[in-house]
Amino acid sequence: MGMTNEQIARVFDEIADMLEVSGDDFFRVRAYRNAARTVRECATSLSTMTPSQIRELPGIGEDLASKIETLIKTGELPLHRELSRKVPPGLVALLRVPGLGPKRVRALNQELGVRDLNTLKSALESGGIAKLKGFGPKLEQHLRQYLAQLDNKTPERLRYVDAAAIVAQLIGHMKKSSAIVRLEVAGSFRRKKDTVGDLDVLVESTEPEAVADALISFPMVKEVVARGETKTSVILQNGFQIDLRVVSRQSFGAALIYFTGSKAHGVHLRRIAQRKGLLLNEYGLYREGKMIAGQDEEGIYRALGLAWIPPELREDRGEIEAAELGRLPRLLELEDMRGDLHTHTTWTDGRATLEEMALAASARGLEYIAVTDHSRRLAMVHGLDPKRLREQWREIEKVQAKVPNVKLLRGIEVDIMEDGSLDLPNDVLAELDWVVASVHYKLNQAPNAMTKRLIKAIRNPHVDVIGHPTGRLINQREPSNFDLDEVLRVCREEGCALEVNSQPDRLDLNDVACLSAKRAGVRLVISTDAHHPRDFAAIEFGVSQARRGWIEAADVLNTRPLNELLRLRR
């Protein structure tokens, strides 16, 4: 099925990088960057789309559409090949160095022959950089610190749950300082992205020195990268970076918008401000040099004619247009969740008994849970055959009598076999209250085969939901490649739901796919896939993922009372 969307987007990103280093037209560079973002966020594989459908994508005109078609057919692009011959790859990598924009990279290359990180280091050691116009001692020191920390940096983004653990400890430590009036963690962490690259911490204070001291004394800090009047950067023992900025009360809202991002969202806001004759930056919103808003986010959005936009939506995917029209979704809340429809016990690979799981669900205030242990295909976890499954039903009855305030649904997580058939016979599945069907092996099937495999399972009348649909494991395993549009079409046709698996290493479906499901009219189920009582708490991660996909309570089956849920079953 040709190149994946990610591969096409990567080519466009690389073209934009090489054009930028070459000093090409700004608008041409931006066109390729925007195209890369559009392609990356498109839920449908471009390889399955018609030329006219590709041309309808936002920001994809005739020229870019033609290039996409060439990439799909041939796997390469003449422009990319030509630029790759002209621009050394190490030179492009220098754009990733903080403080080195395209002009500075070109100057380093033309004046000192710098072509990669190694030659940049040599130029620093020789003292040549200090002599260049526009390269002061402060930047020189910054470059030295950056190169020194490269070997210690975390090679990949942290899972959101790992970043959250650091944030909890950091906030607990920082709030001991009386100098801190207000503290917020911004960036991708505040937008609840499934992975986080670093932490941007904003603090309101009139004592920046004391705030910097508080950060530096955080026990996890390994190295202080930079310390200035209002900004301090540190590297933690695991290589994670924290950037602290101290801002005034009158600018706190503007700084929070700026550093929360995303970059595309911020650019769009500034464009609106310009159209209104205003200036928006990290310090405030100004009219003819006078600040008219800045202390809080709501005031800035209001002055721009917008409703306040939840951080999870700030990706420039239409949220600004919706805010202008008063049509922002009422996003799903944790309190909306009534039950959990994917749980495991010691009958297979769970680490708690059925009764322990039921009691834990009761303690969390859940109204119902589905007991969905694995089917027999997963022999290594003692998956259930029909005989053992029926034995489990008898235990469910006994536990139900002991824990009457949580309804225990007889369920299964049945394996989807390679050909799309299910691991248990239909007559057994027909006796269950809830059926989750999941792929657990051969996740790297060809896209056409995986699409057919999922569709066959969806068309089985006993399947209620497809569990962790792409099978991805964050930072460990790439998602399966299939035609999401076609899967959504059949789900809608058959009334089958898709799962948002809340396990921190899954978060599957992702946010873009959640939005696609909403637009296709496919209902979601947000489940914890709990294997232990403490896993019920993971529901917050699934809710955050769904919120990023514009999901409302009405889009989710297990926000319904049990009688309504069962009525909505297929």
Handedness of CA 548, 554, 558, 561 (dihedral sign): positive
2-14: average pLDDT: 83
Q: Does 273 have pLDDT greater than 80?
A: yes
The first and second tokens of residue 151, run together, are 């070997």
User: Strands 368-371 and 524-527, how do they pair?
Assistant: unpaired
Quick check: 345 and 395 in contact, CB under 8 A?
no
User: How many angstroms separate the Cα of 540 from the Cα of each of 390, 500, 528?
Assistant: 32, 11, 9
Q: Enter the DSSP assignment of 130.
A: G
Q: Does 266 have pLDDT greater than 90?
A: yes
Burial category of 123 from C-beta neighbours within 10 Å (exposed 0-12, middle 13-18, buried 19 and up):
buried
The pLDDT of residue 570: 64
The pLDDT tens digits for 38-70 are 888 787 788 888 888 899 888 898 999 999 999
Round to whole Å and give the CA distance between 80 and 86: 10
Question: Would you place residue 284 in the very low, low, confident or very high pLDDT band (cuts 50, 70, 90)?
Answer: very high
Round to whole Å and give the CA distance between 311 and 313: 5
What residues contact 498, with CB distance under 8 A and at least 6 apart? 465, 466, 469, 487, 488, 491, 509, 513, 517, 522, 523, 524, 525
Q: Indicate left, alpha or beta for 529 from its phi (over 0: left) and psi (-120 to 50: alpha).
A: left
Quick check: 38 and 317 in contact, CB under 8 A?
no
Give the rounded percent of residues in the chain with a pLDDT score beyond 90.
70
Q: Enter the DSSP assignment of 382.
A: T
Round to whole Å and give the CA distance between 43 and 57: 12
Quick check: 73 and 4 in contact, CB under 8 A?
no
Angle between helices 78-86 and 5-21 (to 10 degrees): 40
Quick check: 291 and 284 in contact, CB under 8 A?
yes
The pLDDT tens digits for 227-236 are 888 999 999 9
The pLDDT of residue 151: 58
The first and second tokens of residue 568, run together, are 């909505």
Round to whole Å and give the CA distance between 95 and 92: 6
| Lowest-confidence region among 91-100, 188-197, 294-303, 494-503 | 91-100
Domains of the chain: 5-150 (1.10.150.110), 158-247 (3.30.460.10), 251-325 (3.30.210.10), 334-568 (3.20.20.140)
Query: What is the CB-side half-sphere exposure of residue 260 using CA atoms within 13 A?
Result: 22
Give SS3 for 348.
Answer: coil
Secondary structure, 3-state, 472-521: CECCCECCCCCCHHHHHHHHHHHCCEEEEECCCCCCECCHHHHHHHHHHC
Q: Enter the DSSP assignment of 473.
A: B
- Residue among 385, 367, 366, 365 at smallest CA distance from 375: 385
Quick check: 241 and 235 in contact, CB under 8 A?
yes
The pLDDT tens digits for 493-549 are 999 999 999 999 999 999 999 999 999 999 999 999 999 999 999 999 999 999 999
Give the rounded percent of residues in the chain with a pLDDT score beyond 70.
98
- Burial string for 22-39 (b: 16+ CB within 10 Å, else e) reads eebeeeebebbbbbbbbb
- Alpha helices in 59-135, H assignment, sequence order: 62-74, 78-86, 89-93, 102-112, 117-126
Q: For residues 313, 316, 322 and 323, what is the CA-based torsion angle, rounded to 10 degrees?
A: 70
The pLDDT tens digits for 373-384 are 999 987 777 899
Quick check: 281 and 291 in contact, CB under 8 A?
no
The pLDDT of residue 101: 78
Quick check: 551 and 332 in contact, CB under 8 A?
yes
12-34: average pLDDT: 87
Give SS3 for 371.
Answer: strand
The pLDDT tens digits for 419-441 are 999 999 999 999 999 999 999 99
Residue 465: which H helix or E strand, with range? strand 465-466
Quick check: 328 and 313 in contact, CB under 8 A?
yes
Apex 249 CA angle, 289 and 256, nearest 5: 85
Residue 151: which H helix or E strand, with range? none
- Residue among 361, 377, 369, 364 at smallest CA distance from 342: 369
The first and second tokens of residue 538, run together, are 């993971």
The pLDDT tens digits for 104-159 are 888 888 888 888 888 888 888 888 887 788 787 878 887 887 787 665 554 468 99
470-485: average pLDDT: 91
User: How many angstroms separate the Cα of 154 from the Cα of each of 10, 178, 197, 199, 220?
Assistant: 22, 32, 9, 13, 14
The first and second tokens of residue 118, run together, are 């190694």
The pLDDT of residue 2: 57
Global pTM reads 0.78
The pLDDT tens digits for 70-102 are 998 888 899 998 888 888 777 877 877 877 877
Residue with tokens 């536990």: 399
| Lowest-confidence region among 233-242, 349-358, 363-372 | 233-242
The pLDDT of residue 1: 43
Q: Round the average pLDDT of the chain to a whole number and report it.
A: 92
Residue of higher predicted confidence among 212 and 377: 212
User: Strands 368-371 and 434-438, how do they pair?
Assistant: unpaired
Q: Per this entry, what is the length of the chain?
A: 570
